[in-house]
Structure 1
Amino acid sequence: MTPTDLGPVPAEQPLTYPGRPVTEPSLLAGDELLPWDPAALTGRHPVIAVGSNACPAQLRHKLRQDGLPCLVPMAPAEVRGIAVGCSAHIGVHGYVAAAPYADPGAAPTLVITWLDAEQLASVDRTEFNYQRVLVPGTGFLYVSRHGVLAHPDTGRPHPGAHDQRALLTALLAASPRLRALLGPGPEHWVARARTEPEVREAGKRIFVEEGWVRPAGLVITGEPSTPRLSS
């Protein structure tokens, strides 16, 4: 694949979050996705990606910022007991990122990345709003320190992080205070939020004061093993 095949980098184009995930077992090698190579898993840690870490373009961007090799096995896999919502904070790039929460009946197909020790430390530094935990039998998982957003109408975790423009539009429509702070539209939201830390903090406070924040319900320990890949 050519570099353009990896799609946009959400860190650089926030409204494209979460980016284009891999759809089949692949080996990210710099600007390309190569065929899957099981031998490349040796000495690496499986990490469940619920947001932009499933996007090769975003993962390449993160690793290159630290000058690290972009050689990462990535594959879709079924993960039981975890669903994907939205973290109850506004990230440094201006978007509202995805976050996992406990759901015993859920079995989504998510992307597993296999990172070496240096790569894992590098990704950790970008995930300072999250706590890395272990999911027995699957791998590491980043859980939001801020909880997850509840949908204003249902009170259930908001499922909208897969479409950032639609998510921000819905949040702005649901809160006059958010519209006054970050509106009127998604473009205005990300333009302000990515350049003004105090605006991000004010938006997070509004999430709480609107009553939209729920705990993720995920406190997990255990040793990761090799996940079962999706075909």
Structure 2
Amino acid sequence: MTTKDRSLRALGLDDVPAKQPLTYPGRPTTEPSLLTGSELLHLGVRPLRLGEWYVEEREESQRLDEALAGLGQVGTGRRHPVIAVGSNASPGQVAHKLTRLGIPATVPMVPVRVRGIGVGCSGHISPAGYVAGTPYVDPAAETTLVVTWLDSTQLKAVDDTEFPDYRRAILPGDAFGMTMPSGERLGAAYIYFSAHGVLADPATGEPRPGGGDQSALLAALLADSAALRELLGPDPATWVRRAGAERSLREQGTLLFGKEGWVLPQTDFLPYADESDELRLYDDLPPLDDSLPYRG
């Protein structure tokens, strides 16, 4: 029998940045897990494919693919690995995105070591009012990022929350090493990258680091721009309240990022961009971990 409360609330992973913008990007899972609605079950890693790992915290351990089948969900071989660089690594945000649409929030979520990807800040203000994260290509970077395994319905739902501000790319494993906790390497995975470019640090001209405290980020942006202070200031709480309530303010703020000279274009992902009908065709889209298998 399980003795530990694995609810998102008990684990401190129930933040929903879409509802509480200053909590962005939310708290990511730090261990291989299976999200099942309001619970996050631990996955026992084995030196085998993901579907052979064990779901723990149950009355009796089951292989992941068996557990998914028991929940009426497709197995890992029919799912799409998607690298998260922002709130899609947060179980609370993922559960919110799916359950509000009536889609089962049953998603394997695994921290994976990814080579060649840095995490920055998108050059736009999101509908919730925060400045979201975006990946950028950095050959020297090696970062642990959460990979979610989505079925086709879940993938479409997440796409709809990202488009048109983000585009989806297919990262090949030979160009971007992706190492699972088991030591296996992914042959490929999807990633969303901003259509608005990456915010630069005014002092260095390099991408401004993303994924940190949203209040600190917004405070820094306000400090660096009198025009932003006038539009959305004087503080982060005012920023997200005003920007989240009025589209025109978000659009003006996004334009100001460009006028301040802060936006670096996103071109490195274009050779990998997935052009499957603006991210909306799925019937003929094979799961990546079948079409491009794991590599040892």
Equivalent residue letter for 1:135: L
> In the TM superposition, what whole-angstrom CA distance separates every residue of 1:105-141 from its partner, at most 9, and x where no partner exists?
1111100000000000000000011001100123000
Instruction: Tell me, in whole angstroms, the C-alpha distance in 1 between the residues paired with 2:271 and 2:219.
Output: 33
Aligned to 1:131: 167
The DSSP-based 3-state class of the residue aligned with 2:190 is: strand
Aligned to 1:35: 42
Aligned to 2:244: 194
Question: Quick check: 1:68 aligned with 2:97?
Answer: no
Map 1:40-55 to 2 at 5 A.
40-55=75-90
Contact 2:129–2:240 under 8 Å retained in 1:
yes
Residue 35 of structure 1 and its aligned partner are, at CA, apart by 2.4
- Normalising to structure 1: TM-score of the pair? 0.94
Match of 2:119 among 84, 93, 114: 84
Contact 1:96–1:161 under 8 Å retained in 2:
no
Question: Quick check: 1:208 aligned with 2:258?
Answer: yes
Residue 227 to residue 12, structure 1, CA distance change in 2 (3 Å): farther
Aligned to 1:9: 16
Question: Quick check: 1:218 aligned with 2:269?
Answer: yes
Q: Is there any run of 5+ residues in structure 2 with no aligned partner, and where?
A: 1-5, 44-49, 52-64, 66-74, 174-187, 275-287
Residue 163 of structure 1 and its aligned partner are, at CA, apart by 1.1
Equivalent residue letter for 1:219: L
Q: Is there any run of 5+ residues in structure 1 with no aligned partner, and where?
A: none
Match of 1:179 among 229, 237, 244: 229
**Number of aligned residue pairs:** 228
Question: Quick check: 1:117 aligned with 2:156?
Answer: no
Q: Max radius of gyration: which structure?
A: 2
The DSSP-based 3-state class of the residue aligned with 2:160 is: helix
Equivalent residue letter for 1:12: K
Residue 21 of structure 1 and its aligned partner are, at CA, apart by 0.2
Q: Identity, % of aligned pairs? A: 56
Contact 2:31–2:42 under 8 Å retained in 1:
no
Larger RCO, structure (CA 8 Å, separation 6 or more): 1
Instruction: Tell me, in whole angstroms, the C-alpha distance in 1 between the residues paired with 2:271 and 2:107.
Output: 25
Residue 227 of structure 1 and its aligned partner are, at CA, apart by 6.8
Residue 91 of structure 1 and its aligned partner are, at CA, apart by 0.2
- Normalising to structure 2: TM-score of the pair? 0.74
> In the TM superposition, what whole-angstrom CA distance separates every residue of 1:12-62 from its partner, at most 9, and x where no partner exists?
100000001010100000111112272242210000000000000000000
The DSSP-based 3-state class of the residue aligned with 2:219 is: helix
Aligned to 1:143: 193
Q: Segments of 4+ in structure 1 off by > 6 A?
A: none
The DSSP-based 3-state class of the residue aligned with 1:67 is: coil
Contact 1:83–1:101 under 8 Å retained in 2:
yes
Contact 1:46–1:226 under 8 Å retained in 2:
no
Residue 87 to residue 76, structure 1, CA distance change in 2 (3 Å): same
